[in-house]
Structure 1
């Protein structure tokens, strides 16, 4: 029976290096997709034994392509990042108004998280060292996109200045950190709501309220927080709870 690359044979005859490289790339992508499906259905804490069984291969094959679990996490993380980067890039081209662009980017991020909280947790676990560099690079790229969205507001129609760029970069770093933190709290609350409550446990209260928020409502809240700041949110809340005459006179 002829050997295959998965048998471990180093194919270096008749100029087959290119074919072998293509096979490895294809096989690696296939394993990433299979691992992602397994994590999506079984959760982020699967062991390598569990992952191999779910994928339908052996640990030795996985290790051949990814070295260790961190390598597999990194590869799955790269796939998620590529999708998110493409979606955010499309948003930045399609939506031009700064506030609308921020809203759309928030929705894209929440959509990625909501589509598979288990996969998101798998690639952002503290132990996922292999994903750290990719995530840092991705975060920096997203900060650049957000900063670009804010610049038209900061420069008030004039030329860009070094100060504008610096303020936009700082604001963008806060935006990205805020959205990530809120999204992770949201999916953690959802995971807790889905778990059986221990007998005699106190009412979950706040966590249940967070878990009950849908993506659209949460996205709108985040956009308000980011765009108007705490003072703007408080002012809006007052105008919706006071009499119309009171609201008209409220200029704080």
Structure 2
């Protein structure tokens, strides 16, 4: 007697749930709206903003905020991401990627973009700096420094390689320039010892003066 061989059931592809997709998109869009409201709350209330400030900015209750964010830390992370993606990196990377006649002009443009950000968005800058070094959480300051330094280091590496020079020091120099500008600008943001344009000139002189001795001439 031949054994009966059972045919395994044929898997039927699941039908996409249109309602679930629409709900997911609605939730994503609503969350983005609340993040935008939180950015405005930071602009108005400063780095110590409360969830109540976000609720007022969005025109909703705190209960609604907590439907989309587990806690304030998650909201802070989302605000940091928005500042980075929509405000900070587009300005700085945009200037860094523009081809200019010489290194001094390129350096000055990036430094000026950073200083103008402090001038234009003082509360957002203070907020980002206040969140630096949070244990286990997003650090916008460190992430931005890293992205800008890596991009600047790549440009320096290209220049050195084209001139037949060793390239190992490029990243050291890049991080040194970015760190110098970041720390000096942060000190200036509170001290305001000179006008913004003069600060840009001073930092450009220091950065270009040092790199001018290290990078090959064009």
Pairwise same-fold verdict (TM > 0.5) = yes
SS in 2 for 1:44: coil
Match for residue 94 of structure 1? 98
**8 Å CA contact retained: 2:45, 2:53:** no
Measured against aligned partners, the alpha-carbon deviations of 1:216-249 in whole angstroms (never above 9, x if no partner) come to 22111111111214xx9xxxxxxxxxxxxxxxxx
Q: How do 1:11-22 residues align onto structure 2 when only pairs under 5 Å count? A: 14-22=17-25
Larger deviation: 37-46 or 47-56?
A: 47-56
**Aligned partners of 1:102, 1:149: CA distance in 2, in Å?**
12
How far residue 94 of structure 1 moved from its aligned partner, in angstroms, is 2.1
Structure 2: state its 5+ residue gaps: 1-15, 214-218
**Aligned partners of 1:212, 1:23: CA distance in 2, in Å?**
48
Structure 1: state its 5+ residue gaps: 1-12, 190-210, 233-252
Residue 131, structure 1, aligned to residue 138, structure 2: yes
Which of 64, 68, 71 is the matching residue for 2:67?
64
How far residue 131 of structure 1 moved from its aligned partner, in angstroms, is 2.5
Q: How do 1:158-197 residues align onto structure 2 when only pairs under 5 Å count? A: 158-159=163-164, 161=166, 164=167, 166-189=168-191
Match for residue 47 of structure 2? 44
Residue 55, structure 1, aligned to residue 55, structure 2: no
Match for residue 119 of structure 1? 124
**8 Å CA contact retained: 2:93, 2:148:** no
**Aligned partners of 1:128, 1:47: CA distance in 2, in Å?**
20
The CA RMSD measured in Å over matched residues stands at 2.6
Which of 144, 149, 165 is the matching residue for 2:150?
144
Match for residue 201 of structure 2? 220
Residues 95 and 118 (structure 1), Cα distance of their counterparts in 2 relative to 1, 3 Å cut: same
Residue 84, structure 1, aligned to residue 88, structure 2: yes
